Structure 1
Amino acid sequence: MEAMRLIEATRSALTRSQTVQDIVAEAWQAQALAEVIGGYFAGSASPVTRWEAEGLSEAGGRACGALRRPASGHTTLQRGGAIRASQLTEVRDPQRVLLALGVLLGDVGIALVEVACVADEGLYWQCVEAVDAADESRDRVFGMLREFSTHRAGGAA
């Protein structure tokens, strides 16, 4: 499945989430998507883009670890059939995908802060770690966007 469709599906599911469990599960799905998209871009020819992409993948994986994978019986996984990110097959417009992923990760951070405000201590610390990883993921996304812009501007000159 194309990356934009996966990002849009994840953002829509996060927006519809009403329970703490659903929000955490969708945050997990978004971070899994960041991990996979980072891996997708890690094969890039540009060393800077590769470095940022590997960092994106690592931060997404760390956030997934902080949030722990939702139980297989969770409604989010039932609706999607599995981990949405595992369905990634292509990235048609890298800049558009990275911009949308950056927005999604920002939404995830906000949602996790809201969850942390009402969570017990264990979930609170999971959310704090996941917010930190989401921020790092966004930084990596924007680093990749800067690199794409630099190469595009350099190629046009």
Structure 2
Amino acid sequence: MEAERLIAAGRHALAQSGTALDIVAEAWQAQALAQAIGSHLALCGPLELRSEANGLSEIGGARGGVDHPVLRAGGPRAAQLTEVGDPRAALTSLGELLGEVGIALVGVACATDEEGLYWQCIEAIDAADEANDRVRGMLRRLAVRERDRPPDAAWGRAGPAAGPR
């Protein structure tokens, strides 16, 4: 499944989460998806993104991301990832999802009296924040690449204004 469709499914699932544990589960689903997108872009993405994408693929791994119990039960949605058709659009959507996850987790952490759940939220917030930092870094690299790209040869050196009238 294409990355943007999986991200949209994650955003919908997060919005529909009815309990604190559902929100935590969706946070780890988002983390697994960020790792999968990072892995895909590290192998197949634009050269400028590969180092940063490799870093994204490793975020959360040491903290149990894809091995988290809430993912083992139903499996990570990210396992369905087959392509990242438009890296800029996918990274933009992923950044939005990670931001929404962070906000939802802060709400859960503030509302819980259970110490274990609180620390799960803090761990997941850290992972989402670190992943979002990588995503923003990749988006900056894409913006630089676009800015530094030579004018389209079909339009000539001066750009579209010098094209056919």
TM-score, length basis structure 2: 0.82
Q: State how far apart, in whole Å, the 2-side matches of 1:34 and 1:62 are.
A: 15
Q: State how far apart, in whole Å, the 1-side matches of 2:94 and 2:135 are.
A: 8
2:79 matches 1:86: yes
The answer for the alignment partner of 2:98 in structure 1 is 105
Alignment CA distance shift 1:13-1:104 (3 Å): same
Q: Would you say the 8 A contact 1:33–1:85 is kept in 2?
A: yes
2:141 matches 1:150: no
Q: Would you say the 8 A contact 1:62–1:133 is kept in 2?
A: no
Q: State how far apart, in whole Å, the 2-side matches of 1:71 and 1:147 are.
A: 31
Task: Note the 1:1-157 alignment, pairs <5 A.
Answer: 1-43=1-43, 44=45, 46=47, 49-62=49-62, 64-65=64-65, 68-70=68-70, 77=74, 82-119=75-112, 120-157=114-151
RMSD after superposition: 2.0
Alignment CA distance shift 1:60-1:103 (3 Å): farther
Residue 62 of structure 1: CA displacement? 4.6
Residue 61 of structure 1: CA displacement? 3.1
| SS of the residue 1:89 aligns to | coil
Aligned residues between the structures? 149
Residue 125 of structure 1: CA displacement? 1.1
Which string of whole-angstrom CA distances, capped at 9 and with x for unpartnered residues, describes residues 67-126 of structure 1?
Answer: 9231655xxx3xxxx321000001111100000000000000011111111231111112
Q: Would you say the 8 A contact 2:24–2:124 is kept in 1?
A: no
Alignment CA distance shift 1:63-1:134 (3 Å): farther
| SS of the residue 1:138 aligns to | helix
| SS of the residue 1:61 aligns to | coil
Alignment CA distance shift 1:3-1:71 (3 Å): closer
Task: Give the number of the structure whose alpha-carbon radius of gyration is greater.
Answer: 2
Residue 156 of structure 1: CA displacement? 3.1
Residue 51 of structure 1: CA displacement? 2.0
Which string of whole-angstrom CA distances, capped at 9 and with x for unpartnered residues, describes residues 126-154 of structure 1?
Answer: 21121111111111001001111111221
Letter of the structure 2 residue corresponding to residue 125 of structure 1: W
TM-score, length basis structure 1: 0.86
Unaligned runs of 5+ in 2: 152-165
